[in-house]
C-alpha cells in the first residue's frame, strides 16, 4: 500500500504519506536512550513465565542444585536478550506501518530518526549475547535459543514474514512458547 502511494498509484493514501514524509523530515536524531527503548526492556516481566518451565525442567531431570540459581538466571537473561533483539528488528522494520496504527504510532522508531547501521548492530549484538549466554547453560538450551532467533527472523523478515499472514502470525508467535517454558536447562553442559 505504501509502495503504491510512493509510486503515485494510490491517490487515497497520498495525503497520509505526504504527512508522514513531512513528519519524518522534522524528526529528531535518536540518542542512546532511543536505541535502548526499541529493545523494549520494559517487556522483560513477560519472561517471568519462562521461569516455572525452567524450574520444572530442573526438577524432572534431577540435576545437582549447587548451580541451579545461576543457570536459571543465565537462561532468563538469554531469553531477554534474544526477545529484545526480535523487538529491535520488529520495531525497525514496522516503523512505516506503525505510523498509521492508533497505538503503535507512539513507538520510538516512528518518532525518532535512527541509524539503520546502529539498529542492525543492536539486533546482532543482542542476539549474539543471548546465544552466548544460552551456550553457558547447555547444548539443548542453545539449540532452543537458536530456534528463538530463527522464529524472530521468520516472523519479521521477507520473503516469509509470517506476521503478515493471517492465522500464521499467531501460530508462529505462539509455537515457541512451549519450547521456552520447558527449556532443557537440566544438567549443565549436557544435552
DSSP 28: E
DSSP 27: P
Cell of 183: 527449556
Burial class from Cβ neighbours inside 10 Å (0-12, 13-18, 19+) for residue 110 reads buried
Angle in degrees, CA 119, 110, 13, rounded to 5: 125
Residue pLDDT tens, the chain, 191 long: 555 545 556 566 666 655 555 555 566 887 788 888 888 988 888 878 877 877 787 778 776 777 878 888 898 899 999 999 999 998 988 888 888 888 888 888 888 888 999 999 999 999 999 999 999 988 988 999 999 899 889 888 888 887 778 877 777 666 555 444 445 554 444 44
Architecture per CATH, domain 31-181, reads as Orthogonal Bundle (1.10)
pTM above threshold 0.75: no
**Domain coordinates in residue numbering, the chain:** 1-28, 31-181
Answer whether 101's CB lies under 8 Å from 132's CB: no
Report d(CA 74, CA 183) in Å as an integer: 12
Amino acid at each position: 500500500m505504501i509502495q503504491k502511494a510512493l509510486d503515485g498509484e494510490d491517490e487515497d493514501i497520498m495525503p497520509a504519506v505526504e504527512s508522514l514524509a513531512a513528519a519524518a523530515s522534522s524528526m529528531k536524531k535518536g540518542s542512546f536512550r532511543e536505541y535502548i527503548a526499541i529493545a523494549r526492556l520494559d517487556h522483560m516481566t513477560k519472561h517471568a513465565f519462562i521461569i516455572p518451565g525452567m524450574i520444572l525442567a530442573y526438577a524432572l531431570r534431577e540435576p545437582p542444585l549447587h548451580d541451579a540459581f545461576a543457570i536459571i538466571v543465565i537462561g532468563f537473561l538469554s531469553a531477554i536478550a534474544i526477545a529484545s533483539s526480535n523487538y529491535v528488528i520488529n520495531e525497525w522494520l514496522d516503523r512505516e506501518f506503525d505510523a498509521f496504527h492508533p497505538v503503535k504510532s507512539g513507538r520510538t522508531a516512528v518518532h525518532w530518526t535512527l541509524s539503520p547501521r546502529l539498529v542492525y548492530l543492536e539486533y546482532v549484538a543482542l542476539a549474539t549475547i543471548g546465544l552466548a549466554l544460552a551456550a553457558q547453560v547447555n547444548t539443548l538450551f542453545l539449540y532452543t535459543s537458536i530456534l528463538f532467533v530463527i522464529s524472530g527472523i521468520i516472523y519479521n523478515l521477507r520473503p516469509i514474514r509470517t506476521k503478515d499472514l493471517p492465522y500464521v502470525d499467531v501460530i508462529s508467535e505462539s509455537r515457541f512458547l512451549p519450547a521456552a517454558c520447558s527449556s532443557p536447562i537440566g544438567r549443565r553442559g549436557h544435552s
